[in-house]
Structure 1
């Protein structure tokens, strides 16, 4: 491999030192895990390559990832290449697990974006690139599966460029033979390489028939670099050949400044293009020192690490995957997090997929697992000593788009479920666990159907808690259309003091959102002042479940008359009298069912607009307007009102209609009347559930 370096490689061969951390990212099924496998094989870290389909790859190591043949959490592996240490983090590509990448990015030196020549995956690629752009990460693009590409690279590049706000810089062009890419020409080195399966490519002379194409492509590459190098621009205008060393320096500088995204080609499954990718990383990817400058960490200070991921390893307790951004951290060190939590490092492990090996310390730049840092969460930093660590990057959790109500199959597992949910929510910051006492529901919310399915599998497989799930109940309410009045008299005599309370009320509806209002119009002391509060309490007791079976809202209750007994009246008696009066008046005031309406903002690629609109309309949605998505070329957004009852499964259909990339945000907007057969069905179901619960 050293023989392939050329002058460009040799000139910068001593430029790098220390371990570098590289994220491997890209759309779902683009070949990220396969690329990691080929890198490990090429660097001698594996004796043979595994595969995702066979379930024996280093990445996708969890049982859930194996079962679904997809990455569901980051996987780490370390290699040595030409004397340099690298740690690669294979990140999930599915939009439902894209949040796992967000906590990894602040601590990496660069990213390799794996994609393929498939314009249907361009929107998914844009989601990944947008995350990298927002996090300001230097990035290479590895155009994978070049052996099965059906269009020219320049045509593919034009499609991919629409997904990137940063110019793509083509570094290699394929050598075609009978429509198959058999090798490539490196435009910086001006050398041709023929692919060898699972082996370094072989250097060959550039074919005279390829010379013209190579010169055009190379000049195009240099022109882009010259946009940021005046001296190079002058040399190109003067038809002078720039020194190769400076071309490599320009490539490294423009990558680090995020001016360009270098594009390399290959086929990870065959190990093609892997060596050149590794050499580009070795000579051009930023060092840890440069990364510290990017994220605002000063060079000197106590040892500092950034947490990328947390998980609970059974009897071993919690493990925090973190990169040491400064200094050296050892077992037994006391550290303090950016939130001010103090903990002691109980142990340190190096990782290779699911394999762990204990080590005494983690050196600067290394990614390692730190044991039992309880109270220090994913995304936080921690620093040696009792001084609070600074925040490296604050990553807000994504808004949930899919919710399930869950319950244990066996009631004795209730306590275990609560403990397991606490741990699993700590592992996955995109999960939201909420309790809805009014409906007696535990709700689990996340990024989609697969995200929650994997979570339930973790509950069963890792924590031994089996649950049943269903769509969450809808928070229906009821109110009245008319007015009514009633008397409620509670009288009971059973020896000794009896019970006596007597009230007269009038009820009327209020505008939406006004709540419940109690009005006291008692005169002459017919209901003593000390019992007025009890009357209001009894009224509110009744409003917890009205005649239709749901909480009552937007109601005015006026206390107009009543009577009392000097001996038998009590707070409890008047409270009961108020409940009786409400139960008489409410059915007479034409009760009506109210359903919650959500305001949603749907974002989709423009070509999916008609399909997304049809989905919303089919769910009784009212479309309020259309617009282009701000800052996203080729994307649109739809603003609509949709009943909460119609939301379950919307994200599944939306993703199906948009190649997996559509999404939405939702907020409660208002309550609206529900009448006719839909209302009858809801009320009947509620009555049946109440009868079964008795």
Structure 2
């Protein structure tokens, strides 16, 4: 099928686990003619859940792409994982689409995954649609759910169709206003959404007030509707049943007629090397700009970089650069992904989603371009949750250290919320993810794909160090070795910064007492000391270092001398500045049966947690919100499983750092002293 940018629709399906996204993904592909037979999650035959673990577990772990070619529309559809453990892959899809369709389980109502994805889509400036799924279930109280959605997310949430015949079908209430429904007048719903749409545009509002609805052209309605979506003035509510197909074809029609195309949606912020905004337009004739939002290490075709084209046209044999690299690569094969199938295509135009294979240098969030004539740019990064749950690991079999390192590197390429850390001082490799389930899945994937098994144990908590007061330090480095000597003297000042401010290095040297060429060496020494810590061996943060005086020797002064002088002057100052250890405090959300509330809140309180509140969910479930030190939650997965009989689940997000209690700091310092003395 031949199509252009104006006929492309890019849509991500997101929402809470169990809302039916994958089944809906199948239903949309079937209704759009992309597949002949609709697959089943239970049978492991869906287009999106192709990974062996996805089939075994019965839920999505990664995102999956497929395309639907309609007579007047080309739809790029992305199915994302619902479990909070796999949010990294879900959120990365938001970098490629104009619209996020949040799928809501009609039986369960608004769940915390619904809220989370609605907020993230709003932050990104994406059009949002609420897809109420499973409308044919007996427990679905749809009228009450609509009111709950409007109360939770705003009065801009309005139905554009309504269920009829107990959810067996839906009736359009935007373009058509005849017929009856189960719980509301179609004419009333039609009027409410029409009033919401026309008020966004003065010209459309004027025509409507002067001559009524008949005076509005289809193009005027489309433009006003699209503007409402783009500005968050309207969040359509659509009713569907992925199981029976009710409302599925109607949603595809809505996408074709009313959802924004790549030229209409809010473009994400592009920045140049100076972090200044730069304009990027959906023009096929301009220089190529594409963003890599997904990496797949495929055992058959090698490394795949999946990208969204924002500007220009990519064709086979195009020469592309990665970020600011000077060595181009040639696009030998250009693919469209349809589930696990890779379909070769001739070109990718603005708005397209495509992939290239076997380019080792390509990486997540890379910007692909075809010219260095214009300013190099990058896409403003997505906000991902910090991976706080950690496991230290080592290969189960000797001699597999190199193989383990390569396997971990491949896994980290694919998931922006999976991190690998190497702690030299303890000879320890630590992997971090969003939960114990997240890490368990990643390690099982490593075993299946790369044949590497590991032994795991709890890692060190990611403590940090800082200072509580201002102080000054000094050190003179003088070394005579028979020939040329080493000399450098540094006076500096340290002072605390606000939490989360990071590190600042300030030069206040006057009169050239330290030549400018030695200041980077002083900063290098300071950073070395900060990396190794001063109290308990943890990296330092949230402080300012100001170099204000010193001395040098015209013959003996060298960089190595000022590295040493800067390092020791800094440690001298920190020792006087009341150094403290900071611990990570995480936001905790625990979803549990209501009967377990007392046990769970009591257990959290015993872990120095602060309970912030609770949210009641449908089905007798409660979500407890709290803040707790990460160090207290190392064994929490097994504890929660025991208390709730395996029915509880939780998620963690880094909130902030704060000082540890004095007994904990003393314990950490004493444990570090032997290592410090060895250094």
Q: TM-score, normalised by structure 2?
A: 0.69
Displacement after TM superposition at 1:332 (Å): 3.4
Partner residue, 1:562: none
> How many angstroms apart in 1 are the aligned matches of 2:584 and 2:131?
40
Displacement after TM superposition at 1:646 (Å): 4.7
Partner residue, 1:351: 337
Q: Is the CA contact 1:402–1:651 (under 8 Å) kept in the aligned structure 2?
A: no
Partner residue, 2:295: 310
Deviation string, structure 1 residues 16-65 (Cα, Å, up to 9, x no partner)? 84433221212112111111111111122211110111111001122222
Partner residue, 2:281: 298
Q: Is the CA contact 2:6–2:263 (under 8 Å) kept in the aligned structure 1?
A: no
Q: Is the CA contact 1:304–1:383 (under 8 Å) kept in the aligned structure 2?
A: yes
Displacement after TM superposition at 1:413 (Å): 1.0
Out of 643, 663, 674, the residue aligned to residue 673 of structure 1 is 663
Q: What number of residue pairs does the alignment pair up?
A: 531
> How many angstroms apart in 2 are the aligned matches of 1:15 and 1:331?
18
> How many angstroms apart in 1 are the aligned matches of 2:601 and 2:379?
41
Partner residue, 1:322: 307
> How many angstroms apart in 1 are the aligned matches of 2:100 and 2:5?
17
Alignment of 1:157-556 (within 5 A): 157-164=146-153, 167-176=156-165, 180-190=166-176, 206-207=179-180, 213-229=185-201, 240-243=212-215, 245=218, 246-291=220-265, 293=267, 295=269, 296-300=279-283, 301-314=286-299, 316-340=301-325, 342-344=327-329, 345-386=331-372, 389-472=376-459
Displacement after TM superposition at 1:130 (Å): 0.8
Q: Is the CA contact 1:123–1:605 (under 8 Å) kept in the aligned structure 2?
A: no
Displacement after TM superposition at 1:252 (Å): 2.9
Q: Is the CA contact 2:135–2:239 (under 8 Å) kept in the aligned structure 1?
A: yes
Partner residue, 2:603: 615
Deviation string, structure 1 residues 607-657 (Cα, Å, up to 9, x no partner)? 9997764232233x264x85999xxxx999645556x26533369849989
Q: Is the CA contact 1:416–1:465 (under 8 Å) kept in the aligned structure 2?
A: yes
Q: Is the CA contact 2:5–2:282 (under 8 Å) kept in the aligned structure 1?
A: no
Displacement after TM superposition at 1:271 (Å): 1.5
SS in 1 for 2:59: coil
Displacement after TM superposition at 1:122 (Å): 2.5
Displacement after TM superposition at 1:287 (Å): 1.8
> How many angstroms apart in 2 are the aligned matches of 1:411 and 1:606?
41
Partner residue, 1:97: 86
Q: Cα distance 1:302–1:646, how it changes in 2: closer, same or farther (>3 A)? A: closer
- 1:74 pairs with 2:59: no
> How many angstroms apart in 2 are the aligned matches of 1:378 and 1:166?
37
SS in 2 for 1:77: strand
Q: Is the CA contact 1:106–1:393 (under 8 Å) kept in the aligned structure 2?
A: no
> How many angstroms apart in 2 are the aligned matches of 1:189 and 1:430?
43
Deviation string, structure 1 residues 466-522 (Cα, Å, up to 9, x no partner)? 11223225799xxxxxxxxxxxxxxxxxxxxxxxxxxxxxxxxxxxxxxxxxxxxxx
Q: Cα distance 1:248–1:164, how it changes in 2: closer, same or farther (>3 A)? A: same
Alignment of 1:558-573 (within 5 A): none
Q: Is the CA contact 1:117–1:156 (under 8 Å) kept in the aligned structure 2?
A: yes
Q: Cα distance 1:232–1:150, how it changes in 2: closer, same or farther (>3 A)? A: farther
Displacement after TM superposition at 1:258 (Å): 2.4
> How many angstroms apart in 2 are the aligned matches of 1:440 and 1:33?
42
Displacement after TM superposition at 1:171 (Å): 0.9
Displacement after TM superposition at 1:380 (Å): 2.4
Q: Cα distance 1:275–1:341, how it changes in 2: closer, same or farther (>3 A)? A: farther
Q: Is the CA contact 2:336–2:355 (under 8 Å) kept in the aligned structure 1?
A: yes
> How many angstroms apart in 2 are the aligned matches of 1:659 and 1:139?
27
Q: Which of 369-378 and 70-79 deviates more? A: 369-378
Partner residue, 2:48: 59
SS in 1 for 2:33: coil
Q: Cα distance 1:265–1:660, how it changes in 2: closer, same or farther (>3 A)? A: farther
> How many angstroms apart in 1 are the aligned matches of 2:432 and 2:80?
22
Q: Cα distance 1:442–1:113, how it changes in 2: closer, same or farther (>3 A)? A: same
Q: Cα distance 1:187–1:315, how it changes in 2: closer, same or farther (>3 A)? A: closer
> How many angstroms apart in 2 are the aligned matches of 1:164 and 1:292?
20
Q: Cα distance 1:653–1:400, how it changes in 2: closer, same or farther (>3 A)? A: farther
> How many angstroms apart in 2 are the aligned matches of 1:220 and 1:611?
46
SS in 1 for 2:660: strand
- 1:106 pairs with 2:106: no
Deviation string, structure 1 residues 518-540 (Cα, Å, up to 9, x no partner)? xxxxxxxxxxxxxxxxxxxxxxx
Q: Is the CA contact 1:343–1:374 (under 8 Å) kept in the aligned structure 2?
A: no
Q: Is the CA contact 2:208–2:215 (under 8 Å) kept in the aligned structure 1?
A: no
Q: Cα distance 1:405–1:212, how it changes in 2: closer, same or farther (>3 A)? A: closer
Q: Cα distance 1:462–1:16, how it changes in 2: closer, same or farther (>3 A)? A: closer
> How many angstroms apart in 2 are the aligned matches of 1:151 and 1:292?
34
Q: Cα distance 1:381–1:175, how it changes in 2: closer, same or farther (>3 A)? A: same
Cα RMSD (Å) = 4.1
Partner residue, 1:85: 74
> How many angstroms apart in 2 are the aligned matches of 1:162 and 1:615?
33
Deviation string, structure 1 residues 306-346 (Cα, Å, up to 9, x no partner)? 11101222363321011222222133332223354644134
> How many angstroms apart in 1 are the aligned matches of 2:183 and 2:112?
35
Q: Is the CA contact 1:103–1:378 (under 8 Å) kept in the aligned structure 2?
A: no
Q: Cα distance 1:422–1:151, how it changes in 2: closer, same or farther (>3 A)? A: closer
> How many angstroms apart in 2 are the aligned matches of 1:298 and 1:551?
49
Deviation string, structure 1 residues 105-148 (Cα, Å, up to 9, x no partner)? 12212222211224564321000101100111112221110001
> How many angstroms apart in 1 are the aligned matches of 2:109 and 2:170?
25
